[in-house]
Amino acid sequence: MCLGVPMQVKTIENEVAVCEIDGVQREASLMMIDGVQVGDYVLIHAGFAIEKIDEAEAQLTLQALREALDMGLAPE
């Protein structure tokens, strides 16, 4: 199963964003989407930002992921 994780963009340098969620930071390439700015939320998959999303959608997705983890339903 593939999963896109919502993360907030903290910095951007040379088409690479440092993104963060819950204190965890990851680098992600921005080569697949345009118009991303610091503070935006993006879906991260396999080291790439694949879609820009609004904060409300990001929070709903994160809540669902956290609930799945709490119930032991996370994919292995």
What is the longest distance spanned by two Cα atoms in the chain?
A: 39
Q: What is the pLDDT of residue 4?
A: 85
- The series of mean pLDDT values per 10 residues for the chain, 76 residues long, is 86 97 95 96 95 94 85 62
In this predicted structure, what is the pLDDT of residue 1? 54
CATH class of 5-70: mainly beta
| Structure tokens belonging to residue 50 | 């694949």
Nearest to 8 by CA among 40, 51, 46: 40
CA distance 63 to 69: 10
Give CA–CA dist 45/13, Å, rounded. 19
